[in-house]
Amino acid sequence: KLFGRLAEKYIMLDASAGMCCYSGCSDCEFREPGGGYRMADQSSARPKWIPSYDHREFNSGKEHTSKWSTEIFTEGPSVTKEEFVS
């Protein structure tokens, strides 16, 4: 239940990953040597990440505020058991 309360379908990673188009260009600066990509953000159909940030913003204009910071820890860094479960 704890993971379910904190997990999200979207996460912003490192802004240095840039804005790759993911078309498989051989000279892409965002492509890993093994064939994968360095991604600036990721999304999924089901919640699978817990962001370590409360809010993150990129120079491109993309921004994300974590669910836990707006729904659970709205009044500060700690909550009671009753507040967390409700």
**Residue ranges in 1-86 assigned as alpha helix (H):** 2-6, 67-71, 81-85
The span from the CA of 4 to the CA of 30, in Å, is 32
pTM of the model as a whole: 0.66
The token duo for 54 is 């409360």
* Confidence band, pLDDT 50/70/90 cuts, at residue 62: confident
With a cut of 70, say whether residue 72 has pLDDT above it: yes
**What digits encode the pLDDT tens for the residues 14-57?**
766 666 666 767 777 777 777 776 777 889 999 999 998 889 98
8-43 as b/e: b if 16+ CB within 10 A:
beebbeeeebeeeeeeeeeeeebbeeeeeeeebbee
User: What is the predicted pLDDT for the residue at 46?
Assistant: 94
- Tell me which of 79 and 56 has the higher pLDDT: 56
